[in-house]
């Protein structure tokens, strides 16, 4: 899916994951984005720079504590996510279509456990 859907927009999996978080949460601190993606803050900073050049997001520095930076989607970023997500979701559905409904439920349950047990 990364090569098919994401490459059309010049996005890596990590960049897509970051945009997805921003799409859901509207504005997210860089520290939380790094934790969510499982990468360093430096990596998030580099990806943010790339996405800013593409006009998909922008950074805001906290007025009270300049050490805190949050990232938000631009309108263009929201439009891109509204185009990408349905395509990406269709790909995910196709991937698991080889599984029975019961197997899909088990997979979902196991993945949720991994996420919860590892504080993702």
Residue 98 lies in a domain: yes
* CATH code, domain carrying 58: 1.10.10.10
Domain count within the chain = 1
Q: Among 35-39, 60-64, 115-119, where is mean pLDDT lowest?
A: 115-119
The pLDDT value recorded for residue 62 is 87
Radius of gyration of the chain (CA): 16
* Model confidence, pTM: 0.78
Residue 13 lies in a domain: yes
Mean pLDDT is highest, among 18-27, 30-39, 109-118, for 18-27
Residue 96 lies in a domain: yes
- Which tens digit of pLDDT belongs to each residue from 41-81? 899 999 999 999 999 999 999 899 988 899 999 999 999 99
Q: CA distances (Å), 6 to each of 13, 18, 29, 106, in order?
A: 7, 13, 24, 28
- Token pair recorded at residue 55: 């006009």
Show the domain range for 109. Answer: 6-117
Residue 1 clears pLDDT 60, i.e. is over it? no
């Amino acid at each position: 899916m990364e090569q098919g859907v994401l490459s059309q927009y010049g996005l890596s999996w990590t960049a897509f994951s970051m945009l997805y978080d921003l799409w859901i949460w509207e504005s997210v601190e860089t520290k939380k984005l790094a934790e969510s993606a499982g990468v360093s803050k430096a990596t998030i900073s580099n990806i943010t720079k790339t996405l800013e050049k593409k006009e998909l997001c922008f950074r805001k520095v906290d007025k009270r504590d300049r050490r805190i930076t949050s990232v938000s989607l631009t309108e263009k970023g929201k439009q891109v996510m509204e185009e990408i997500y349905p395509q990406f979701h269709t790909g995910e559905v196709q991937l698991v279509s080889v599984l029975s409904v019961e197997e899909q439920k088990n997979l979902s349950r196991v993945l949720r456990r991994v996420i919860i047990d590892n504080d993702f």
